[in-house]
A and B are shown apart, each in its own frame.
Chain A
Amino acid sequence: MRLKLLASILFVLVGAAVANAAGDEAPPWLQQAAKVPVPIYEKDVPAVVLQNEQHVTVNDDGRITTVTTYAVRILLREGRDYARAKEFYENDAGKVKELKAWLIRANGVAKKYGKDETIDAVEDPNDIYNESRFKLIDSSDDADAGSVFGYQSTTEERTVFSQDIWAFQYMLPTLSSRYILTLPQGWAARSVTFNHEAITPAVSGSTYAWELQNLPPIPPEPKSPRITSLAPRIAVSFYSPADKPSSNFKTFSNWAQVSYWLSELHDPQSAPNDLLAEKVRQLTANAHTEIDKLRAIASFVQNIRYIAIAIGVTRGGGMRPRSAAEVFAKSYGDCKDKANLMRTMLKVLNITSYPVGVYSGDPDYVREEWASPNQFNHCIIAIKVSDETQAATIVTHPTLGRLLIFDATDDDTPIGDLPDHEQGSWALVVAGESGSLIRMPVTPVESNLLERKIEASLAVDGSLSATIQENANGQWASGYRSEFRHLSRPDYQKVIEHWIAAGATAAKISKVEPRDDATAGHFNLDIDFVAPLYGQLMQDRLMIFKPAIVSRRETLSLTEAKRKHPVVLTSTAYSETLHLKLPAGFDVDELPDAVKLDASFGSYATNYEVKGGELLFTRKLVQKAGTIPVEQYNTVRSFFEKIRAAEQAPVVLARK
C-alpha cells in the first residue's frame, strides 16, 4: 500500500513535469481515425475506441514482435482516463521497443508524447519480486471531451508459448478491432472464438486477420457476469509445419498435453525432505481418519503466508512452483507454492494429489475448446480420497477417481468447501497424460446456510434487549471468518456495532463473542445489546416496531429499471427465528401479512405468530447458484424488492 502510494505520487509528479510540446503533428492513421463518425451512444458512455489493432509477427527463433495501434475518442470528461497508452512486458524476456502517443484536441491541435513522457513501472508493487512491468504514457491531464488519443507501440518478447489471446473490446464501444498474426512461411494458425459467434480470419499467405466492427458498449451492472465472459475474444494457437517442428515453441493440441507439460514443471518440485516429513508426522499424530489428516495438513498450508515471487514467466516460470522444501523452510509462497507444498506433505502420508489449474475471479472464463495453460491464473489442489471421506467438494474424475478439491491459498475456506468464484468452473487436473479438464464442484445451498436466532424483549417504553446467536456455514462462514481474521479486534467490534446500529439506532452492545471453528467450517457469533426507543410509542396508545431487527449485511443492488446482461446468483441460504417477548399491557393490533415467494432461482418466506405474550417471527431465504437470463430480470428484481419490503414491515401493538 505504501509503495503504491509513493508510486502514484511519482506518477503525478512526472505527469506535472511533462514538457510542453504542443503543435506536433499526429500520424496519418490517427488523423484518419479521428475523422471516423461516431454513433450516438447512451449519455454515460465515456469514450469510444475508434481503432484497436494488434499485429503479431512470429519468428521461428522464438521471438515475437507485436505492433499495437490504438485510437480512442473521449466523449465525456470522465473518459479522460482512457487517454493512456499502457504496454506490458516481462523484464527478463521482453521489452517495449517503442511507445509513442498523440493527442488531438477538439480544436485540432495535436501533441506528441515520447520517451520523456514515458513511465516504466512494476505491475504489482506488492509482490516481493515480479518481472512483469509496463510502460505508460498518460495523457489524461491534457485530454478532455472531444479529444482523440492514439498510440503506437512495438514490443518484442521471447516466449515458449505458441498461443495468444485477443479481446476485441472491454467496456468501451469499439468501432474497429483487429488482430493480425504473421507467421513464418509454412506455419498455420487456428482460433477459437468466445462470447461471440465464430470469427473466421482473412488469410493472406501466412498472415491471418480477425476483425470485428461496431461493438456496442458493455456497461457495468451489479451481479453481472464478468467482462471476461461478455466481451468477444479469440484464442489463437499457431503451429510449425509437421516436417519442420520448432523447438522454440510449445504447442498444445489437447488438455492431456497441457497436463503433461505442467506436470513436468510441478513434479520435480515436490520432493519431501526429512524436516518436512517430520512436520507432517507431527501434524497428523492425532489424526485417525483420512479427512482428519487432510484437515491437519490443509490448515498448516493455509497458514503459510501468501507472498509471490514471479520469475521467468514467459518461459513457464510463472507456472513452476518453488521447491516444497524451500517453501516449507521460509513459510511463505504463492498459490502454486502452497498447492505444491500440500501435495508434497500428502505424499509423505502416501496420499496422492494433483495440482489443479483454475481461473480465479470468473467461473466462466476457462473454455473447454482451447487447450492452453494460459487460461489459468490460479493453482489449487485435487486430493485423491477414499470412499471414507465425504464432502461437498468431491468430484469423480473418469480415470483418477474421487478427488477432493481444495484451495490452500484461501485461508478462510476450509477443506470441504471451495470459494464461490471457483465453483462450477472448468479446471485442469494436472496428472501427466491422465490429466484432464473437469468441472469444479458447486456446493449445495444447504451447505451455505446462515442461521440466526434472536431472543428479544420489548419493554413498555419501547426499549429492546436482544441476544443474537448466528451460526454461519460454508461461504457465509468464510466471509465472516475473513472479516474476523483480517480486522483488528477494535475494528471488528466497530463493524458489528455499525451493523447492529443500522437496524437498531443507538444500540448499546454489551457482548460480541465470535467463535471460529474453521475445521468444521462454522463461524458462530453471539451478540447482546439493548436499543432504547426501538419500538415507537404513538400517543401512548400504539407501539410499532420492525421484527426484522438486523439487516442481512447486504444491500439491495438490483434496483435499476433496465438491464443488459444476465444476473449471476451464488448459492446461499439464510434463516432467522425471532422470539420476542411483548411489552406488558400491550396486545398485538396488527401483524404484517406472511410472505411466500417462489421462483426458479430461489424462495423466500416470512411468518408471524403470537402466542403466550410472545411474537414468533421467521424469515427464510434460499438462493440457488445460476445465471438468470436478462429477459427474466424483472422477475429477479421484483423478488428482491419484495424481500426488502417484507423486512421493512412493522408490527403494531395497542394498549389493552
Chain B
Amino acid sequence: MLKRGIIGAAVLFLVVAAAYASFYIAPEERTMGPIQRIFYFHAASAWAGMTAFMVCFVANLAYVLGRNQKWDWVGVSAAEVGLTFTTVVLITGPIWAHPVWGIWWTWDARLTSTFVLWLLYVSYLLLRSLLEEPERRALLSALFGIFAFLDVPLVFGAIRWWRTQHPQPVIMGSPGSGLEPTMRRVFFLSVLAMHALMVLLLSERYRLERMRGEIQELRRETEA
C-alpha cells in the first residue's frame, strides 16, 4: 500500500512538472501562440496510448502462442488504458484545431485513422463483454486485438505518407522539421510523465484482472 502511494506521488509529481514546463518553460510558438501548448498534453497522450496498444498487441500475440491467462489480463488492461489515452487525444485535438484551423474536425488520414483506432479498441472491449466462456473470450479477443493493432502503424505513418490537414511530424519527421531545443525537452518530459501515468493505470487495471482470477479460483474451490 505504501509502495503504491509512493509510486502514485512520483507520477503526480512528474505530471505536475510536465504541466508546469508546458506553460512556463516552453517558449511561445510564433504563429499559433499560447494554444500550441495543448500540443504537449495532446501529443504526449497520443504516444502513451500507442505504447499501451503495443503492450496489448504483444500480450495478445503471447496469449495466442502460449495460452497463458496472464497475457489475456495484460491485453485487456492495456486495451482499456490505451483507449482512455486515445479518448483524451480525440478530445484535445479538436479543441486545439478549432481556433487554429477554424473547424473542429476534418476526415483527413491522421484524424480518420485515429478515430478508427478508437472504434477498433471499443469493439475489442465490446467483443469481450459478449463472450462468456473465459478461454474462448481470451482467444477471440487476442486475435481481434492483433488485427486492431494493424491500424497503429497507419496512424503513425498517416502524416508522413499523405498530405494531411493535421500538422506534419516534428519528431522523426522529414529533414528540416523538428522542435526548438527547449520545446523538445519539455515535450519529452511530457512524454515521460504520460508514460508514467500509463504504467500506473495499467498496473491498477491489471490488479482487477488478478483479483478476478483469484475469485474464479476460490469459486471453483467452494463448488468442489
The reply to whether chain A is a binding partner of chain B is no
